[in-house]
Chains A and B, each alone.
Chain A
Amino acid sequence: MSVAPHSVEKLLTDRYPHGFVSPIAADTVAPGLDEDVIKFISNKKAEPSWMLERRLQAYRHWLTLSEPQWAFVQHPPIDYQAISYYSAPKPPGAGPKSLDEVDPQLLATYNKLGIPLEEQKLLAGVAVDAVFDSVSVATTFKKELAAAGVIFCSMSEAVREHPELIQHYLATVVPHTDNYFAALNAAVFTDGTFVYIPKGVRCPMELSTYFRINAANTGQFERTLIIADAGSYVSYLEGCTAPMRDENQLHAAVVELIALDDATIKYATVQNWYPGDAQGRGGIYNFVTKRGDCRGARSHISWTQVETGAAITWKYPSCILRGDDSIGEFYSVAVTRGKQQADTGTKMIHLGKRTHSTIVSKGVSADSGQNTYRGLVRMSARAEQARNHTRCDSLLLSDRCGAHTLPYMEIRNPTAQVEHEATTSKINEDQLFYCRQRGLSEEAAVSLIVNGFCKEVFNQLPLEFAVEAQKLLNVTLEGAVG
């Protein structure tokens, strides 16, 4: 059978419709990393000197570290001097004040991605912060949120406008000494989202950030900090895409969540970075540190992630259950196909009494995709009557893919309860035959079965995003059974 090359290309683009490049003039710093580059970034962002000091301290620490080697992933060495650490669409500076001032090319890019920034077209009740390469280009619904006392802005703005909150909370969950990529991020982070929900406030709308890498040879190092003060509630969603390129690009983000007494944070990610082509050329290295601190009593942090993109995913959204009776949750769907590799999972660190955690991980592997669940449940000595329930299910769609489950448990309190269930199954001939006998095509059958497999996780997403996630999964898995 012969297929015209352009139709193969079309198939590939159909599978990754976000792979276009926007012709936007950018202000990009030359590749390379040293103290001058860090000073340049800090200066671009008009940061106070204490912020620069923190960056330099992190950088000096990073120089003493080496890349972690324990993850079940393989990639050629990353040349950190070949990456550009800052790229912003022109005109640079503090960024536009209103949407009218945003470059029409940028608005067009977000429209093409299905994220219209014009507020009137937005999904009712969702406020968006749009981060393009290294800077936040627009944040919507700021006024409406401010009326409720909610701060929702870019990290750069927060450093300038809310230094007391930043100094008090930033890097208290993920210090720069935490790991190699966290140290790098602390030195060179460019933008990201800052959220503060005041005491007793239920955030009146869903908040979301849309991350887009556009420029070539740049890395994206965003930093997100969400603080839910006592008795407050917020639901937050992030989405990510990037153009198709032959080179690998690095995305090393840090996300910190802090929930005080009786506060709830729900954080959802739909990650669809460019995964690379079928031969494994190109794609994003997604090396991310995400951690939530249930600092207050009865606080609640819930992570939901749908990871379908990126050449390599290395991330473990975790919860430190410090407050008594606090609750941590992790719901994950990770899909790997082609040559994608994912090493993902969570850490539940139980410190407080009667703390509860739930882990539900669904791994789907196709083609030569490799999927590893790596999780830690730690019951500390004072975590009286703490409980954890973990379920890891893996679904294999081909003979060449792999699923690996690496659960770690450390239990130092005899009253703690830890349960772990795991299953691995190959997509079942009987199920496919059953569906096809009822008139469904093989593709429709696979999509139905895989969506069923992931349903428990999708149910955690806000409705509109659950529908999006389902569609994304269908596109990702087209022609995946073999």
Chain B
Amino acid sequence: MLEIQDLKVNVAGKPILTGLTLQVRAGEVHAIMGPNGSGKSTLAHVLAGRDGYDVVGGSVLFDGANLLELATEERAVRGIFLAMQYPVELPGVSTMVFLREAFNAQRRARGEVELDAVEFIQRVRDKAKAMQMDDALLKRSVNTGFSGGEKKRNEILQMSLFEPKLAILDETDSGLDIDALRIVADGVNALRSPQRATLIITHYPRLLDYIAPDHVHVLAKGRIVLSGDMALAKQLEVKGYTWIDQEVAA
């Protein structure tokens, strides 16, 4: 589904990704771990199509198409969803209105029928209920005055609503208590299917206990230096990241 070949990305002239190669097949859950500054969030943003990142080498194919040529919103329409590390506030824009506009924009772009207001509201309410999210949040402005946990829950709600082909979670677990972590994990697990894939970017192995990814990769200095399974995540939990540097240097 996703094929990243030797991806090199600069930010303000400084190399951040230095030759990253990764293959994600449908049905798989991959975790990408690594110390701060290793390029994890850059990878997430480049895949979602954020401005300000210069791709200076390599390629990214998504379902066979050149992902890097597509506009941000086209990538969303084709099924890429990024749960953000810092979800932004949209003052004055009600969450329900925002979700409906975005949801129907995607449907229109795919040539699908838009959902009417009643159907849509019911669908969102059901999803929110499944996540133990307070209905009142849907009436409030997007993320405005939400607690950190509420913002992250809102991201997961959107992920379950949009039903993406490839969900990317950028440090969604940071700053969450154990209950919120469970909800994020349940959201990811509920979406697991042979047609979908998930890329979990995280600093801490804790979330992975609940999700059990198929593959675990370690990112350091802009490329993947180690790949394995849950055993690698366990190792990181015990030993931290410093031994990786030594390993890579050796």
Which of A142-150, A264-272, A446-454 lines the interface with chain B?
A446-454
> Smallest Cβ distance from B169 to chain A, in angstroms?
13
Residues of chain B within 8 A of A453, CB atoms compared: 91-92
Residue contact B106 to A439, C-beta cutoff 8 Å: yes
Residue A434 CB within 8 A of the other chain: yes
Residue contact B158 to A449, C-beta cutoff 8 Å: no
Residue A455 CB within 8 A of the other chain: yes
Q: How many chain A residues touch B (Cβ–Cβ < 8 Å)?
A: 23
User: A428-B88, A436-B73, A439-B106 are known contacts. Are A448 and B50 too (CB-CB below 8 A)?
Assistant: no
Residue contact A433 to B105, C-beta cutoff 8 Å: no
Residue A444 CB within 8 A of the other chain: yes
In the complex, which residues 60-94 of chain B have their Cβ closer than 8 Å to any Cβ of chain A? 71-73, 75-77, 81-82, 84, 86-93
A453→B75 CA distance, assembly (Å): 27
A323→B93 CA distance, assembly (Å): 38
> Smallest Cβ distance from A110 to chain B, in angstroms?
32
Residues of chain A within 8 A of B141, CB atoms compared: 452
Residue A121 CB within 8 A of the other chain: no
Residue contact B109 to A434, C-beta cutoff 8 Å: no
A40→B43 CA distance, assembly (Å): 76
Residues of chain A within 8 A of B93, CB atoms compared: 448-449, 451-452, 455
> Smallest Cβ distance from A438 to chain B, in angstroms?
4
Residue A101 CB within 8 A of the other chain: no
Residue A430 CB within 8 A of the other chain: yes
User: A448-B98, A448-B101, A452-B141 are known contacts. Are A438 and B91 too (CB-CB below 8 A)?
Assistant: no
Residue A456 CB within 8 A of the other chain: yes
A442→B103 CA distance, assembly (Å): 15
A200→B35 CA distance, assembly (Å): 72
A-B contact count (CB 8 A): 77
Residue A440 CB within 8 A of the other chain: yes
A436→B74 CA distance, assembly (Å): 9
Residues of chain B within 8 A of A437, CB atoms compared: 48-49, 72-73, 75-76, 81-82, 84
Residues of chain A within 8 A of B89, CB atoms compared: 431
Residue contact B102 to A433, C-beta cutoff 8 Å: no
Residue contact B87 to A434, C-beta cutoff 8 Å: yes
A354→B174 CA distance, assembly (Å): 50
> B76 touches which one: A429, A436, A452, A455 (CB < 8 A)?
A436
The residue on B at minimum CB distance from A455 is B92
Residue contact B92 to A441, C-beta cutoff 8 Å: no
The residue on A at minimum CB distance from B143 is A434
In the complex, which residues 88-137 of chain B have their Cβ closer than 8 Å to any Cβ of chain A? 88-93, 97-98, 101-103, 105-106, 109
Residues of chain B within 8 A of A430, CB atoms compared: 86, 88
> A439 touches which one: B84, B86, B88, B109 (CB < 8 A)?
B109
The residue on A at minimum CB distance from B87 is A434
Residue B51 CB within 8 A of the other chain: yes
A48→B87 CA distance, assembly (Å): 67
Residue contact B90 to A448, C-beta cutoff 8 Å: yes
Residue contact B88 to A444, C-beta cutoff 8 Å: no
Residue contact A452 to B82, C-beta cutoff 8 Å: no
Residue contact B101 to A440, C-beta cutoff 8 Å: yes
Residue contact A434 to B91, C-beta cutoff 8 Å: no
Residues of chain B within 8 A of A452, CB atoms compared: 90-93, 141
Residues of chain A within 8 A of B102, CB atoms compared: 435, 438-440
Residues of chain A within 8 A of B84, CB atoms compared: 434, 437
> Smallest Cβ distance from A276 to chain B, in angstroms?
29
In the complex, which residues 437-482 of chain A have their Cβ closer than 8 Å to any Cβ of chain B? 437-442, 444, 448-449, 451-456
> Smallest Cβ distance from B134 to chain A, in angstroms?
21
Interface centre among A430, A438, A453, A456 (most CB of B within 10 A): A438
> Smallest Cβ distance from A463 to chain B, in angstroms?
15
> Smallest Cβ distance from B98 to chain A, in angstroms?
7
Residues of chain A within 8 A of B106, CB atoms compared: 438-439
> Smallest Cβ distance from B103 to chain A, in angstroms?
8
> Smallest Cβ distance from A245 to chain B, in angstroms?
36
A438→B141 CA distance, assembly (Å): 16
Residues of chain A within 8 A of B91, CB atoms compared: 452-453
A232→B3 CA distance, assembly (Å): 71
Interface digits, B200-236 against A, CB 8 Å rule (1 contact, 0 not)? 0000000000000000000000000000000000000
> Smallest Cβ distance from B74 to chain A, in angstroms?
9
Interface digits, B131-163 against A, CB 8 Å rule (1 contact, 0 not)? 000000000010000000000000000100010
The residue on A at minimum CB distance from B108 is A439
In the complex, which residues 161-207 of chain B have their Cβ closer than 8 Å to any Cβ of chain A? 162
Residues of chain B within 8 A of A440, CB atoms compared: 73, 101-102, 105
> Smallest Cβ distance from A466 to chain B, in angstroms?
13
The residue on A at minimum CB distance from B83 is A437
Interface digits, A401-440 against B, CB 8 Å rule (1 contact, 0 not)? 0000000000000000000000000001111011111111
User: A433-B72, A444-B101, A444-B105 are known contacts. Are A438 and B90 too (CB-CB below 8 A)?
Assistant: no
Residues of chain A within 8 A of B50, CB atoms compared: 433
Interface digits, A375-412 against B, CB 8 Å rule (1 contact, 0 not)? 00000000000000000000000000000000000000
A16→B174 CA distance, assembly (Å): 48
A431→B91 CA distance, assembly (Å): 10
Residues of chain B within 8 A of A456, CB atoms compared: 92
A451→B92 CA distance, assembly (Å): 7
Which residues of A are interface residues toward B (Cβ below 8 A)? 428-431, 433-442, 444, 448-449, 451-456
A-B contact sample (9 more), CB < 8 A, given A431-B88, A441-B73, A452-B141: A429-B51, A430-B86, A435-B90, A436-B76, A439-B77, A440-B73, A440-B105, A453-B91, A454-B92
A sample of 15 inter-chain contacts (CB < 8 A) reads A429-B51, A429-B52, A431-B90, A433-B51, A435-B90, A436-B76, A437-B72, A437-B73, A439-B162, A440-B105, A442-B73, A448-B97, A452-B90, A452-B93, A452-B141
Q: Which 8 A-B pairs have the closest CB atoms?
A: A452-B92, A452-B93, A455-B92, A438-B102, A439-B106, A439-B76, A436-B72, A430-B88
